């Protein structure tokens, strides 16, 4: 007979207050989960539901009564009776400064409208550090036919490293190298991607919040001035290659597939694909000349 297996105690609800409003969430939830339950919009950059929180961007910080410093909502677990403030002067100040420090050093022009909305909400003025403020500007790395790396747009959120590593792909082709302001995402010794361990799954593109990692098709079209999201439609389908059943979202412009994504909340993919699903669409649009 099989031995009894301990499956853990059933989870309990924990109640806490956020901005004076009581909320109950399952124990083990994060403050961010609780904020979302109350529909308190919380800015996040390095957090993504399909990745382990690394809490490095610090834009989601909140004030917890009794804590000496602010805490990251994305990774701090709730405790019973916790009193959280998400809109105090201290919180607003740190969120504004994080957005300003990033905005002053990184090209954030391709960030989502949501990010621009947060910059407006917190009154972030990245220009106030002056014209001499150092940036991470550098040439775009175009070393393969599938995707480009424009690290002048990189906010160092670690998401691509996580997706390339244990959170999804387990390929470990990239890591964080250097330190301080010079810290950057890199292959070993900055080797071009074709010589690295990269398998072109493109899961790093899928999680990048700033457009630093981009389909080459999108990069080329942007360069030519033909990229127009207003003219794009999204068609959902299932990847035809193998039997796993990954859901694909084909982004189509002018009757051509220009990029492929998968929804983060899809039960099969959690947003992640392989090289075939992500990039293997060329044959569809190979038209007889």
Query: Does residue 102 touch another protein according to CB under 8 A?
Result: yes
Query: Does residue 275 touch another protein according to CB under 8 A?
Result: no
- Check: CB of residue 143 under 8 Å from CB of residue 193: yes
Q: Is 86 exposed, middle or buried (0-12, 13-18, 19+ CB in 10 A)?
A: buried
Q: Is 93 helix (H, G, I), strand (E, B) or coil?
A: helix
Query: Does residue 174 touch another protein according to CB under 8 A?
Result: yes
> What tokens does 202 get?
């493109």
Name the one range near another protein by CB under 8 A: 7-15, 68-76, 216-224, 254-262.
Answer: 68-76
- Check: CB of residue 206 under 8 Å from CB of residue 51: no
- Check: CB of residue 258 under 8 Å from CB of residue 232: yes
Name the one range near another protein by CB under 8 A: 125-133, 139-147, 200-208, 243-251.
Answer: 125-133
Q: Which is nearer to another protein, 27 or 188 (CB)?
A: 188
- CB atoms closer than 10 angstroms to residue 231: 10
Nearest distance from C-beta of residue 113 to another protein, angstroms? 21
Query: Does residue 115 touch another protein according to CB under 8 A?
Result: no
Interface residue with another protein among 7, 66, 179, 288 (CB under 8 A) is 179
Nearest distance from C-beta of residue 273 to another protein, angstroms? 19
Interface residue with another protein among 180, 230, 243, 289 (CB under 8 A) is 180
Residues 213-272 that bind another protein (CB under 8 A): none
Q: Which is nearer to another protein, 69 or 224 (CB)?
A: 69
Give the span between the Cα atoms of 204 and 193, in whole angstroms.
13
Q: Of 164, 251, 248, whose CA–CA distance to 205 is shortest?
A: 164
Q: Of 101, 26, 23, 1, whose CA–CA distance to 57 is shortest?
A: 101
Give the span between the Cα atoms of 151 and 105, in whole angstroms.
11
8-state DSSP, 241: S
Number of residues that bind another protein (CB under 8 A): 49
Interface residue with another protein among 170, 233, 255, 267 (CB under 8 A) is 170
Query: Does residue 31 touch another protein according to CB under 8 A?
Result: no
8-state DSSP, 169: T
Query: Does residue 21 touch another protein according to CB under 8 A?
Result: no
Q: Of 192, 191, 119, 194, whose CA–CA distance to 155 is shortest?
A: 119
Residues 196-215 that bind another protein (CB under 8 A): 196-197
Interface residue with another protein among 8, 20, 130, 289 (CB under 8 A) is 130
Query: What residues contact 65, with CB distance under 8 A and at least 6 apart?
Result: 82, 83, 84, 85
Query: Does residue 191 touch another protein according to CB under 8 A?
Result: yes
Q: Which is nearer to another protein, 104 or 253 (CB)?
A: 104
Interface residue with another protein among 85, 116, 121, 129 (CB under 8 A) is 129
Cα-Cα end-to-end distance for the chain: 68
Residues that bind another protein (CB under 8 A): 55-59, 61, 69-70, 72, 75-76, 90, 93-94, 97-98, 101-102, 104-105, 128-130, 132-134, 155-156, 170, 172-183, 186-189, 191, 195-197
């Amino acid at each position: 007979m099989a031995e009894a297996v301990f499956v853990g105690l059933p989870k309990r609800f924990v109640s806490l207050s956020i901005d004076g409003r009581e909320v109950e969430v399952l124990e083990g939830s994060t403050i961010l989960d609780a904020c979302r339950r109350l529909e308190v919009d919380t800015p996040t950059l390095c957090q993504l539901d399909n990745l382990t929180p690394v809490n490095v961007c610090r834009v989601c910080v909140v004030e917890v009564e009794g804590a000496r410093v602010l805490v990251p909502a994305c990774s701090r677990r709730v405790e019973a009776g916790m009193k959280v403030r998400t809109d105090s002067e201290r919180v607003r100040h740190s969120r504004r400064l994080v957005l300003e420090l990033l905005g002053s050093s990184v090209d954030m022009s391709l960030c989502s409208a949501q990010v621009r909305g947060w910059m407006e909400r917190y009154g972030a003025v990245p220009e106030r550090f002056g014209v001499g403020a150092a940036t991470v500007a550098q040439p775009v790395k175009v070393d393969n036919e599938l995707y480009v790396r424009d690290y002048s747009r990189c906010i160092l959120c670690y998401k691509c490293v996580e997706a390339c590593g244990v959170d999804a792909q387990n390929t470990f082709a990239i890591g964080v190298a250097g330190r301080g302001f010079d810290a950057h995402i890199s292959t070993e010794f900055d080797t071009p991607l074709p010589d690295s361990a990269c398998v072109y799954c493109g899961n790093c593109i899928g999680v990048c919040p700033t457009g630093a990692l981009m389909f080459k098709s999108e990069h080329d079209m942007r360069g030519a001035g033909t990229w127009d999201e207003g003219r794009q439609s999204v068609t959902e389908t299932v990847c035809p290659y193998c039997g796993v059943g990954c859901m694909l979202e084909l982004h189509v412009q002018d009757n051509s597939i220009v990029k492929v994504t998968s929804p983060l909340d899809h039960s099969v993919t959690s947003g992640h694909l392989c090289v075939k699903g992500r990039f293997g669409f060329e044959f569809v649009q190979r038209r007889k000349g």
